[in-house]
Structures are given as C-alpha cells and as structure tokens.
Amino acid sequence: MDDRFNTEEHRIFRDTFRKFVEQEITPHVPKWEEERAVPRELWHKMGEHGFLCPWLPEEYGGLGLGFEYSVIINEELIRGDAFGFGVPMHSDCASPYIYSYARPEIKERWLPGCTTGEVITAIGLTEPDAGSDLANIKTRAVRDGDEYVINGSKTFITNGYFADVIVVAVKTDPSLGYKGISLILVDKDAPGFSRGRRLEKMGYHMQDTAELFFEDCKVPASNLLGEEGKGFKYMMEKIQQERLEVCVKCQANAEEALKEALKYVKVREAFGRPIGNFQYIAFKLAEMATEVELGRNFLDRLVVDHVDGKDIVQKVSMAKYWLAEMVNRIAYQAVQVHGGYGYMEEYRICRIYRDVRSLPIFAGTSEIMRLIISRNLGLSPT
C-alpha cells in the first residue's frame, strides 16, 4: 500500500483485522468451501467489529473511513484464504448504490443493517442472455400506481443466495436502449421474487453465487434508485470502484501465489538440490516477482487516485485487464513449480489457481476492458 495509507492507524486496523481473519475465518475455510457458503454469524461478527461498510458515515453506523480501509479488508481476506467471502461486493460495490441514490427513508431502512451484518447486499445486472452487453438486458419493470412490477431473471449474482436486498437493473423503457435502464432495490421478501439454485462454479466455492427470478414481482415505487432511465449512468459511475476492488483481489492473489511458489521451490529437492536453485526455475520466479511488483505499483497509484476523487476509468480498465491476466500467469507458473502437488486440493496453490480464473471475467471481461481502453485512445473497434 502507498505510504500515505500505511500510517499508524492503517497498520493498527490491518493488524486487528488480520488477527480477526486468523481466528474467525481461516480455520473454517475448508468447511465453508465444501458447504458453498459462509454462516450468517460471520457477517454479524464482522459487523460487531466495524469491518462492514467502514466507509459509511456514523449516522448509518459506519466509521466514516476512506476506501483504503476497504482495500485492507479485501487484501487481508485473500491472505487469509477467504477470497469467496462476499464482503467487498457487499461493502464496496452494492451498498454504495443505496448510499448514493436511494431516497432518505430507504437509506434509513437498509444502511444501518449493512454495517451490522443484518443486511447483505448484492447487484443483479447480468442476465442469461446479456452480460457484457448490458444495454441489452430484458428484465422489465412497469410502473403500476405506487409500485413497480418486475419480470425477468438474473444470473451469476454474487451474494445472490443470501442477499437481503438486491440492486437490480431493469428496463423501464425498452424503446430507449441503455437510456431506458433503471435501478430498483428488490427486498428478498418482495412478492414474486425467488432464487434459483446456488450455482456450482469452477472455484470461488464459499461464495453463494445464484440465479434470481422475478415473476410479477412487486416493489414500492420508492425503491427506485435515483431517477428512471439513469440506471446505466449510475452503473458506469459505480462500476469503477467495483473494478478497482477486483484489481485488489487480483494483486493480493498474485502475491499469495508467488509466496507459495517461493516457499515451495526452496524446500522441494530434485536431482540433489532445491528446485529453486535450477536456473530455469530461479529465473521463472524472478520474472513472476517482477510482474507482481509492477502490479503492486500500478494498483497502489490507482487506489491513491481513486481516494483523491480522480477519474480512473481508463487506468482502472487497464489495471483490471492486466492484473487479472497477470494473476492467472502467476498462478499457472506457481502450480507448475509445485509439480503434482500443485494439482492436489490440500495444497493452497491449487485453490488459488481455480479461484483466480474468475477474475478476467467478472466486473467486465478482459475483452471489454480492452474495448474501453481502445475507445479512450480514439479508436473504434467493432
């Protein structure tokens, strides 16, 4: 982390959270990975210690801290093997929509629970037939008196199975393309709302990724976030922080994979010497360490820019594509230096390898990141 975010207070916060993770999370990870979920009790414990939405103002139960504290939480969760615990999605991606765009009474209703763990949040944008092409979503909301009636479905939704309230992207006017998209909060108890199965994924197992269904689902009109037709604009505003949050995941996982590789090549022997002393492997580790260091510098700078309120669209797109692909290169090589053990579940690198495959996909694929970058370079790729 940049020196500015490595003060005494930051270090104390990091140490406290690291201890919490060591005691309350890491020992249980194998069980939760198997169960495909973390217990709700853990969310409550996180809330009791101020580790949920720490950026929220005190009036909503938060600590009023900067985004860098969310980065610390995200990093330490990954260091403690809890990549799949959906706290960054809740704290830094979904809850900010409520804070920024909900009506005052709706904020009062949900935000205090977001800090205590009584309320888990999620974002429902992706549909079975529209992921990258969000302007093409089909879920429809029709205003009927004091309510919206929603029909459609969402898929791949992080925290989807246990979320209490979900930010859902809908079309309020399908004739207007992306300008007809609005965001509406859907309470888990809304009539007509249901969830499908918890999806079986390649990795990221303790994460309860799910499908969501809306069949004449009725929600109060006051659940509309901001104004009708502004949903796409709001998503583009908020998704920058979500991408940065994913960049943190990429970098922290790359650092962990490198650590595992380094540890292993120093102790594993072949042909009478530690394998790390073969020049080929030593050079491979040197290359990996260099990539990880470059990533760290890029990310730290970006976090500073984001906290300072600068426009990070171009750089976060670059970072998201590069870091997500970098961590996959690092994880691949880290498995390779482990030989057969790298393919065994009991070795941590095996899980890291599976988990990080998701990173070039969610929050905008690597291809979509390249599309944004090239457009900002004045090109028009088709």
Ligand X SMILES: Cc1cc2nc3c(=O)[nH]c(=O)nc-3n(C[C@H](O)[C@H](O)[C@H](O)COP(=O)(O)OP(=O)(O)OC[C@H]3O[C@@H](n4cnc5c(N)ncnc54)[C@H](O)[C@@H]3O)c2cc1C
- Residues designated catalytic: 242
How many CB atoms lie under 10 A from the CB of residue 144? Answer: 11
User: Is residue 321 at the binding interface for ligand X, with CB under 6 A as the rule?
Assistant: no
Comparing CB distances to ligand X, the nearer of 110 and 362 is 362
CB of 84 to ligand X, least distance (A): 9
Residues 196-255 that bind ligand X (CB under 6 A): 201, 204, 209
**DSSP secondary structure string for all residues of 226-256:** SSTT-HHHHHHHHHHHHHHHHHHHHHHHHHH
Q: How many residues touch ligand X (CB under 6 A)?
A: 22
Comparing CB distances to ligand X, the nearer of 55 and 204 is 204
CB of 44 to ligand X, least distance (A): 22
Residues 324-353 that bind ligand X (CB under 6 A): none
Q: Can you tell me the distance from the alpha carbon of 141 to that of 151, in angstroms, rounded to the nearest whole number?
A: 7
Instruction: Please list the residues that pair with 223 across neighbouring strands.
Output: none
Q: Can you tell me the distance from the alpha carbon of 77 to that of 43, in angstroms, rounded to the nearest whole number?
A: 13
CA 204 to chain centre: 11
CB of 283 to ligand X, least distance (A): 32
Helix (H, G, I), strand (E, B), or coil: what is residue 195? strand
Residues 175-204 that bind ligand X (CB under 6 A): 201, 204
Comparing CB distances to ligand X, the nearer of 201 and 268 is 201
Residue with tokens 């102790």: 267
Give the residue closest to ligand X by C-beta: 131
CB of 14 to ligand X, least distance (A): 26
CA 234 to chain centre: 18
Residues 124-163 that bind ligand X (CB under 6 A): 124-126, 131-133, 156-158
Closest CA to 262 of 188, 337, 320, 329: 337
Instruction: Please list the residues that pair with 148 across neighbouring strands.
Output: 143, 219
Output the CA–CA distances (angstroms, integers) from residue 202 to 26, 30, 159, 252, in the order listed.
21, 16, 16, 20
The binding track of 87-126 with respect to ligand X, each residue x by CB under 6 A or -, is: -----------------------------------xxxxx
Residues 292-311 that bind ligand X (CB under 6 A): none
Asked if 146 contacts 153 with a C-beta cutoff of 8 angstroms, the reply is no
CB of 237 to ligand X, least distance (A): 16
The residues binding ligand X (CB under 6 A) are 122-126, 131-133, 156-158, 201, 204, 209, 358, 361-362, 364-365, 367-368, 371
